[in-house]
A and B are shown apart, each in its own frame.
Chain A
């Protein structure tokens, strides 16, 4: 079921969606957005690609196994929560850098936490969708 309109649009829209998801992620702390929505949008980008080109192509595009993204996301959130351990502070105590980082702006452990959420959400949705979509071929 190949559609030239869909595939051409997808080629343009997928990178834009991914860029948009990243934009949502980094602005989330001050404006509407955040890791969760960002992750959802990023996952949608890959889904669009999946609908246009199939599971195999999207897997090649993604390169990494979604389960790895889930683990990575959990790891990042956990690490960001454990910073207090090194400074004799509580679990999940927020730490912020004094200087602003270009593009990202203010950077701190809560932001790192949001990045973890972002990866996890992408991983979860893609894992479920891949499991459903792959089953067709069997």
Chain B
């Protein structure tokens, strides 16, 4: 019978990253794009923890810790920017943000 190997965890990490990338490309709502970015970071975290567990080395776990810190501050700044943008443009969609296009 099939048992779970580290490869399963790595494939899951890649799938999570791919789903986040897909969401980043096909959604137009900036809130959902930020959430897809979080999903991509989660895929990276799964891969790092797997490597840390398999390689018997704590450095990967520590890096997950720092990635969580950076992700939290990124979300805080991104959402503040989004609220500021919403007050100016009254929209959260990327179609309405084409200020520099023409």
Indicate whether A and B interact: no
Q: What is the interface of chain A, defined by CB distance below 8 A to chain B?
A: none
